[in-house]
Amino acid sequence: MADYNVIVIGAGPAGYVAAIRCAQLGMKTACVDKWDSLGGTCLNVGCIPSKALLDSSHHYYFMQKEAKQHGIKSEGLSIDIAAMQARKNKIVKMLTGGIGGLFKKNKVVSLKGAARLISNTEVEVNTQIISADNIIIASGSVPTQIPVTPIDNEFIVDSTGALAFDAVPQRLGVIGAGAIGLELGSVWSRLGSKVTVFEALDDFLSVADRKIANAALKELKKQGLDIKLATQVTAATVANNEVTINYQGDQQLVVDKLIVAVGRKPHTDKLGVADIGIEIDERGFIKVDANRQTNVANIYAVGDVIGGPMLAHKGSEEGVMVAERLAGQKTEMHYDTVPWVIYTHPEIAWVGKTEEQLKAENIEYKVGQFPFMASGRARAHGNTSGMIRIMADSQTDRILGVHIFGISASELIAEAVVAMEFEASSEDLARTIHAHPTLSEAMHEAALDVDGRVIHS
């Protein structure tokens, strides 16, 4: 008999959630992770520490730039980076420790060590071989490196290094205008860095709705981020405590620190994936079928390591799905309703198709739009940037995509996700009573606007 019903490799949001759900469903479950603390990238060096610094830096930015309009004086304002980092570290410690508590509560056996696949039912951990009826790989992802900018973890850093600066770099370069580059660039810009972002593509946030992306670009530039689109970095060299960045052939910029945020790649190092015949694609992602099963019987994979949106909540839901399918349930995952959020200020969030995708797919649609400028709550708050856009099918009125740039977009998008999950029409949202005064009224008004019935703009 096998030691466990399930062994989960990796205790990030995909793995730890899968392990807890397996255990809840009565499976004897072990979760192996090689890091000292549980929670994977997200809790240790991703979602959580970045949001802690985004919130701290926003408070400083608010006191410096916006408090005055509320009649609040901020003379003698200063920042203590060590205290800010200590706060961030405390939050990480509390949450990662919390997963240990959840494992105990749910009777998940937590094993520390690097796991290596031996067969479709065996895993080696710390020279010991343990066995299970099924194995779930949730080994996540690591930052992509590019040869032209070798990471030295002092001057040229990846996202992990950028979360740990002990002082505000006067001049900061960021390569990559994706979510991670924009969020980390925003943190240090708000704290005083002169930030230059290099992005090889001509389109800003090419995956987002164009109107939303353009509005966000304008706002971020206004905040002081120098975002250079269609600009390829070709080299970076460190000398005299400075980084010289070469871009577009003969152009140069000298900065104090350079963050390389050019994406993430699947993490399967030393996992033995190839040794037991698990297929990977040309980019190294583990190939899975609709049930998240690999080509090898009894082995499943979830989260960043299988690609798709590299988002914590996407991995967690895949973890739940695999656990429930192992228990004989018929759980499905709806990739069409995975919300995306970029935690700039204001935030960018969306679910479903962009206007550009609808056009490319020849789907006839109607658009409703509402600017936060016309929202009483946004005005009271003091930030009226951005808008909500809703796209609905011309014939059926079914909501196909909702796109937000504005304060609390990360929270507002949940209403759209629920509506789309329930296959709602824009009229369903338009007939739903929203509390006044709230930012969610902008969702209501955008829905009304789909049918030309908007009241407040």
Give the interface with ligand FAD as residue ranges (CB under 6 A).
Answer: 9-15, 32-35, 40-42, 46-47, 50, 114-115, 138-141, 159, 180, 267, 271, 303-305, 310-313, 315, 343
Contacts of residue 372, Cβ cutoff 8 Å, sequence gap at least 6: 346, 378, 383, 384, 385, 386, 387, 388, 406, 407, 439, 442
Determine the size of the site formed for ligand AMP (CB under 6 A). 16
Interface with ligand AMP, residue 176, by CB under 6 A: yes
Query: Biggest alpha carbon distance in the chain?
Result: 70
Q: Which does 41 bind (CB under 5 to 8 A by kind): ligand FAD, ligand AMP, none?
A: ligand FAD
Nearer to ligand AMP, 233 or 419 (CB): 233
Q: What sections of 173-236 are H helices per DSSP?
A: 179-190, 210-222
The residue written with tokens 């800010």 in the block is 84
Segment near ligand AMP (CB under 6 A), from 115-123, 193-201, 366-374, 429-437? 193-201
Q: Binder to ligand AMP among 198, 300, 343, 372 (CB under 6 A)?
A: 198
Interface with ligand AMP, residue 180, by CB under 6 A: yes
Segment near ligand AMP (CB under 6 A), from 113-121, 170-178, 380-388, 426-434? 170-178
Q: Which does 33 bind (CB under 5 to 8 A by kind): ligand FAD, ligand AMP, none?
A: ligand FAD
Q: Which does 352 bind (CB under 5 to 8 A by kind): ligand AMP, ligand FAD, none?
A: none
436 is catalytic: yes
Interface with ligand AMP, residue 263, by CB under 6 A: yes
Determine the Cα–Cα distance for residues 392 and 372; give it in Å rounded to an integer: 20
**Helix (H/G/I), strand (E/B), else coil: 128:** strand
What does DSSP say about strands 399-406 and 387-393: parallel, antiparallel, or unpaired?
antiparallel
Determine the Cα–Cα distance for residues 259 and 441; give it in Å rounded to an integer: 38
Residue of 381, 436, 444, 456 with catalytic role: 436
Segment near ligand AMP (CB under 6 A), from 41-49, 69-77, 192-200, 421-429? 192-200
Interface with ligand AMP, residue 46, by CB under 6 A: no
Interface with ligand AMP, residue 199, by CB under 6 A: yes
Hey, which residues between 135 and 164 contact ligand AMP (CB under 6 A)?
146
Please report, for residues 370, 372, 390, 406, 455, the alpha-carbon distance to residue 448 in angstroms, rounded to integers and kept in the order given. 9, 15, 10, 19, 8
Nearest to 374 by CA among 443, 450, 452, 451: 443
Segment near ligand AMP (CB under 6 A), from 106-114, 174-182, 324-332, 431-439? 174-182
**Helix (H/G/I), strand (E/B), else coil: 123:** strand
Interface with ligand AMP, residue 201, by CB under 6 A: yes
Determine the Cα–Cα distance for residues 367 and 385; give it in Å rounded to an integer: 19
132 has which bridge partners?
4
Q: Binder to ligand AMP among 47, 233, 311, 450 (CB under 6 A)?
A: 233
Determine the Cα–Cα distance for residues 369 and 391; give it in Å rounded to an integer: 9
Q: Binder to ligand AMP among 200, 276, 327, 363 (CB under 6 A)?
A: 200
The answer to whether the Cα torsion of 292, 295, 299, 304 is positive or negative is: negative
Active site residues: 436
Binding site for ligand AMP (CB under 6 A): 146, 175-180, 198-201, 232-233, 261-263
